[in-house]
Structure 1
Amino acid sequence: MSSNISRSKNRSNINTDQALSANKMDKESTPAISHSRIKSRINSIDMMRGAVMLIMLLDHVRERFFLHMQVSDPMDLTTTSWGLFLSRFAAHFCAPVFVFLTGVSAWLYANRGHGQPRSARAFLIKRGLFLIALEILVINISWMGNYHTLWLQVIWVIGLSMLTLAALINLPRPWMAVLGLAIVFGHNLLTPIGFQPNEWAYGLWTILHDRGYLVSEGALKIKVSYPALPWMGVILLGYVAGPIFSDKLDASARQQKLLLLGGSCFALFVLLRGFNIYGETLPWQAGAHLGETLMSIFNLTKYPPSLSFLLVTLGGMFFCLVAFERHFTSAGETDGRLARVGHGLSVFGSVPMFFYILHLYVLLLLYTLAKLTFGANHGELFGVNSMGWIGLIAGVLIIVLYYPVKQFSEYKKHSTQAWIKYL
């Protein structure tokens, strides 16, 4: 009997040790799993930002060295080449991705993986005002090297959208979703509304919906290039979609949600645009061949962004986020090339504001030197003669700018200075 008691105690001790050991392993492995999930989802966001930053670089090189072949909005397909059309269409993805992911980032800031939720209002107000000041004081002069005209462009509209989200941050998420969807889906109905410069609502309507000059005469002209209303809807929807990127959500579940969103956007685009029902001011028309027809279908309005424009660009973004998380974040185990591409994209995407300012001033310097060296060869402008040169210049700049961007990204990670986080 004593032998049985002894064996029973031994079993009990063994079971207890196993339970304690398993509990210890769970505690030790949980942070690692959580960190892996966080790294995966955040890397996919940085890769997405990095990808559109490089597309944006290509478009800005075009605006510097191919401005003699400037495009209208929507584009004039009778004068636009395939190369020019494709580069401009690719650039359409930049602003929607940045504004939507700004909303996602605000939600992630407010809902950290640990600790209690915190308000993102102060975060949004400070950064929104900072971006508007940056547009006016730093970025504007990088375009023309002067202050003849103050162009209120994408950084301005992101800042204004952040201030809008700050004002509405305490709305219940369902109400925020309804408001965001109403703006994105309904703003095309406002197209017939317009005001003349001498009418009381002209200034407000120019800021919200109609691209135009706030001040058209005098030493300093002010032009709104990015009407803000649709982008306010996009940032609200980004904030509403924030929980998709929570570390509490399994990667496969997140990817399924993103695929559903992307598929829904594309299906709506096919329906609304395919039958010219709604969502775009310029109906598409059949061309002489398939290429012309496709160009007409995807010739979408950006200022302000039409519903069709947002369905295509946001839908593409959702699919890309899935691809980056599924195929690039863990590619090192199977494909070193994909891993290197993913890492490179995440480097550019980790410090987007720094890269944005840096590349604009580098382009200003290059253009100034080229014009001084070779002279104006297209009227008052200097430019190259084909889109092939634009691609080559952009490719070289990607390689040249990678090192300073990487260095600043590393510095930002280890810096304790608060202002660094704004870049």
Structure 2
Amino acid sequence: MNSNLHVAEMDGAVKAKRISSIDMMRGIVMLIMLLDHVRERFYLHMQVSDPMDLSTTSWELFVSRFAAHFCAPVFVFLTGVSAWLYANRNPLQPRSAREFLVKRGLFLITLEIIVINISWMGNYHTLWLQVIWVIGLSMLTLAALINLPRPFMGLLGFAIVFGHNLLTPIQFMPNEWGYSLWTILHDRGYLITDGIIKVKISYPALPWMGVILLGYVAGPIFSKSSIASNRQRKLLLLGLACLTLFILLRGGNIYGETLPWQLGSSIGESLMSIFNLTKYPPSLSFLLITLGVMFIGLVGFERLNNPVGQVLSTFGSVPMFFYILHLYVLLLMYGISKYFLGSNHGDLLGVDNMAWVWLIALSLMVFLYYPVKRFSAYKQASKQAWIKYL
């Protein structure tokens, strides 16, 4: 009996650590995202293209923007993992995650349209369908395919992630029949250009659908019954495989990125060219490097047990609350600053270098920690179903 109790205690400890590692990963990318959104508020006069224009982009801007590339892949992949964990919370009585995915997906799309969109510009002239929209749409896609055998789901996910770069030459003009569907799935652009409200697809959905499918297929790696050392070994192998494939494909300009890299006048310029990857839609190279680092990072976070890890876990425990909160705080900050200081870059107010962006972001991390911590505690104690969506 004591032996069984000991095993149960060990299993509970492993489960807590596993969930914490996922929360830590979410937490670190949320803070990176905060840095990128501060840049979009106070450094917009130095806007970046996709891929970035290296002739006008400084190294500090490049590094900050490249770090932000990790946010969407981590969240979409871990959304797939979370759906599998939801469906298999009790290994003896697995349940379908379809209803969960449909409700959550529709909730996220509604949130993008009603709450998040206005937080960017403070107005509603254009509906920007961005990362929350694409996570919601990916969840609906996973719900539709949830009954597929996992091997078929894995093959479909791999086919999308590895094959969608082959679709790049396919294009539709706005007056052609396939334009709207292709804009949603693959080519970033406007769905509606006339009328009271314009609608633009900022995140084409097809590659992200592949990522969420692979996340769901990878769910058993994080199951309650898995042994920590085996899980870490699998994650490490996945990470190394992704990074090795990235080196081979990107290093030889073979496949997986629309913009070939070129040798620069220095090692730094050459590295910037190599890591200058397409995000809209995410290229295979983009996904290999970001997901590869994520897999290795999950191994490191699972072994992390210190105050830094606890802070990251707190931020990652309520990602949607933090996402909405920081956007409106930035909107308010920018509005107040522009009212008192006026514009200094055309119609925009902005700081003069990235060091100020980093400082503002660091200050906001400290400022937002307390409300995030309070809401996280409230969410864990609350029995209200809607709270769980945040």
From 197, 201, 224, the counterpart of 2:174? 197
| Structure 2 counterpart of 1:347 | 314
- Equivalent AA in structure 2 for residue 57 of structure 1: L
Structure 2: state its 5+ residue gaps. Answer: none
Q: CA deviation at 1:31?
A: 2.3
1:152 aligned residue:
129
Provide the aligned C-alpha RMSD in A.
0.6
Which of 288, 298, 308 is residue 311 of structure 1 equivalent to?
Answer: 288
Which residue number corresponds to residue 422 of structure 1?
389
- Tell me how far apart the structure 2 counterparts of residues 270 and 83 of structure 1 sit (CA, whole Å): 23
Match of 2:334 among 356, 359, 367: 367
Is 1:248 matched with 2:248? no
Partner of 1:44: 21
1:132 aligns with 2:99: no
Report the secondary structure of 1:266's partner residue: helix
- Which amino acid is 1:35 matched to? G
Write out aligned runs for 1:171-210 (5 A): 171-210=148-187
Q: Check if 1:108 corresponds to 2:85.
A: yes
Name the SS for the 1:200 alignment partner. coil
Q: Which aligned runs of 4 or more in structure 1 are off by greater than 4 angstroms?
A: none
CA contact (8 A) 1:113 1:246 kept: no
Match of 1:336 in 2: none
Q: Structure 2-normalised TM-score? A: 0.99
**Residue 228 of structure 2 is aligned to residue 261 of structure 1:** no
Where does residue 358 of structure 1 map in the other structure? 325
How far the C-alpha of 1:114 sits from its partner, in A, is 5.2
Aligned counterparts of 1:401 and 1:181: Cα–Cα separation in 2: 38
Give me the whole-angstrom Cα distance separating, in 2, the residues matched to 1:35 and 1:218: 56
How far, CA to CA, are the matches of 2:54 and 2:389 in structure 1? Answer: 40
Unaligned ranges ≥5, structure 1 = 1-23, 332-338
Of 108-117 and 204-213, the range deviating more from structure 2: 108-117
**TM-score normalised to the size of structure 1?**
0.92
Amino-acid identity (%): 75
Q: Which residue of 2 aligns with 1:399?
A: 366
Q: Distance in 2 between matches of 1:113 and 1:25?
A: 23
2:33 to 41, 51, 56: 56
Q: Which residue of 2 is the match for residue 83 of structure 1?
A: 60
Q: Deviations over 1:276-329 (max 9, x none)?
A: 000000000000000000000000000000000000000000000000002x1x
What is the count of residue pairs matched by the alignment?
390
Deviations 1:127-183, CA, capped at 9 Å, x for gaps: 000000000000000000010000000000000000000000000000000000000
On the 8 A contact 1:37/1:251 being kept in 2, the answer is yes
Q: Secondary structure at the match of 2:383?
A: coil
Deviation at 1:30, TM superposition (A): 2.6
Instruction: Find the aligned partners of 2:178 and 2:226 in 1 and give their Cα distance.
Output: 45
> Who is 1:120 aligned against?
97
